Amino acid sequence: MSGAADAATEGPQLSEQLIAEHGIGPDEYERLLQELGREPTLTELGVFSVMWSEHCSYKSSRVWLKKLPTSGPQVIQGPGENAGVVSLGDGQAAVFKMESHNHPSYIEPYQGAATGVGGIMRDVFTMGARPVANMNALRFGSSSHPKTRHLVAGVVSGIGDYGNCMGVPTIGGETNFDPRYNDNILVNAMCVGLVDANRIFKSAAKGVGLPVVYVGSKTGRDGIHGATMASAEFDESSEEKRPTVQVGDPFTEKLLLEACLELMNEDVIIAIQDMGAAGLTSSSVEMSDKGGVGIDLDLDRVPMREEGMTAYEMLLSESQERMLMVLKPGTEPIAERIFNKWELDFAVIGKTTDTGHFVARHRGVVEADIPLPALAHAAPVYERPYTKRDPLPIVAAEDVMAPPSILSTLERLLGSPHLSSRRWIYEQYDHMVMADTVQRPGGDAGVVRVHGTDKGLAVSCDVTPRYCAADPFEGGKQAVAECWRNLTATGAKPLAITDCLNFGNPERPEIMGEFVAAIEGMAQACQVLHFPVVSGNVSLYNETNGVAIPPTPAVGGVGLIANINEMADMALKSDGDVILLLGQESGHLGQSIYMSVMEDRLDGAPPPVDLASERIVGDLVRGLIKAKTLNAVHDVGDGGLLVAVAEMALAGRRGVDLEGAPDGMAKHAVWFGEDQARYVVAATEDKVGTIKDVATIYNVPVRVLGTVRGDKVTLPGEAPLPLGMLRAAYEDWLPRYMTRG
């Protein structure tokens, strides 16, 4: 038993209310007492609070995350480190991860989103990689909600300012508007970096008596209890949590990046860890636990930007742009010289020990002395009760209103908040910095060149929340499959995914049931598509006053293009090219954008995901791209077939002359149904026979849709739709919305 409780400075009594305010329930507090063997100090209570929070311990999700496949010949590092790593061949590797910053972004959209970007980039360069591409997945409430415009403006500005200042291109992403996110937006940030496969740095602090070094920015009082706040639902008092939102400085982060990468060339680092959620506490606990050692911190040595900070505040602060390192003995001067050069703080604040304890001293007093297993392994792990819902009925095409005009409907869909261009957003991001971006935002996936080579790295992030809300199992499958398709459409071989699992309160069985079903769907898709999970994040308690967001398991994927000269994109290229559909058609309208816009309803089952078909059609498409048979490729997603064709036409600034719908199928179901495992491709007329022959070998249906021609979209029996009118509808909604008074 330690003397920390006797020696610690006096603070408030640990009342039931104070314990509850730290997010620790009565049963958990009893467990804490058993682990510690005594009453905790206030500082120790704070440490347990963050380390046992949902955000840090994954206590509700850990059991189910084990179901996700995490290995494969391409995987160098799976879950458990700051980020995942996959091989790109030739001794090169990609490092990537996706994280959430949902709660902070709702409270303070600019700083919340900005520090989300900063945090995910630190996760990547902590591994020794230079970040080369960012993505984001954003979910906002209804466009009619009074807060939405303010939230969009703040989040987009925060993402753009931080990424642009760091000099890392943002090459894509997705943005949804849905009233079910009115009071709990989602901001998921993804970063990809490149590293030599033999130069990967990890976080295990192995060895006793090693110096523990603090580098980067000074510690302030911002972000205290950020991890705990992210593990609780909102209510009317959420605005009061503004002080828990971290404040970022991208210029300092840029210096930190360069200083860390320079130090990594000196062969002095044993372990390195970003100070993210739970700050100094989590970084020191994780490093020492993974290394099987104790850690002893002297908080008097921590660089502070505010006077009179307590041990509690220093340990729980989530001030940004900070790293914790364990160095080889005697190399401190080398590190200090480098960080001084980059005008960053450097301090030796402790050492590793053989005690197996986390110890923090301040002003001659032991403020915390906790066995590390109590923090790292003894956090409660819950197998929470869950319920699963019955499948919804399939919506028949005849039960969905047919429009008077297919092309007028197309114009309306593309001008809606669901499908309109996100150009206003992505043009605020620098997507060409570093000069290696070879496919810009707006297509299926962003692509960056692997610097100095002909290889390309394709990146996409995807999920369809309305599918997940209707059927979390099929929605989880679809999120993985959609990401796989988007990478495939560029010609990339999909390598692996990271995920960001956004759900409501897991203590409610129906919410836990959504989580379980989504994981099971994702696991099945990852297995069949050979698309393992190498990193990720779980964000729970995304709800306000008991109203949860739709289940939103965002999937970020990375794929490899062996030669960017063989890369495909979605833009139609030449008049006379033939447009074809690859994949099975059934005209599935349940949960479709068409139903939402035209009838203001979302009901029925989402489109089923046939994973075997996904695999076959995707392999066919990649083969045709590699053989340079195709001039344009686009997967069929939100809005259905006609929306995909229109997006290709707009991207290439070329019209299309379409044939009519097949006999026996309702026209609106053909053109706007959201059947999965489908691609629209374009090729010269002389290649059509080859495409059909190869598709026959793969047993994949092929249908000629029409021809690239002119500057209009034409369809038998309808007035032609000029591309200019279609573009106006597509491009105008978001800028008009954001500039409205």
Among all residues, which ones are annotated catalytic?
A: 55, 101
CB-based contacts of 110: which residues, under 8 Å, 6+ apart? 154, 155, 157, 158, 161
Place of tokens 């971290």: 246
539 to each of 170, 232, 318, how far by Cα in Å?
23, 10, 17
Return the number of other C-beta atoms located less than 10 Å from residue 484's C-beta.
Answer: 29
* 26 Ramachandran zone, left/alpha/beta (phi>0; psi -120 to 50): alpha
* Cβ atoms 345, 467 nearer than 8 A: no
The three-state secondary structure class of 437 is strand
- The answer to whether residues 486 and 174 touch, using CB atoms and an 8 Å cutoff, is no
Query: What contacts 24+ positions apart, CB below 8 Å, involve 642-645?
Result: 642/406, 642/410, 642/671, 642/672, 643/410, 643/413, 643/414, 643/419, 643/593, 643/672, 644/680, 645/579, 645/680, 645/705, 645/706, 645/713
Helix ranges, 1-57 (H):
4-7, 16-21, 26-36, 42-51, 54-57
Per-residue 3-state assignment (H helix, E strand, C coil) for 550-616: CCEEEEEEEEEECCHHHCCCCCCCCCCCEEEEECCCCCCCCCCHHHHHHHCCCCCCCCCCCHHHHHH
Report the alpha-carbon distance of residue 447 to residue 619 in Å, rounded: 19
Q: Which residues contact 204 (CB under 8 A, 6 or more apart)?
A: 271, 287, 290, 291
Tokens standing for 61? 């999700």
- Only one residue has tokens 């499958």, namely 477
Q: What is the largest CA-CA distance in the chain?
A: 86
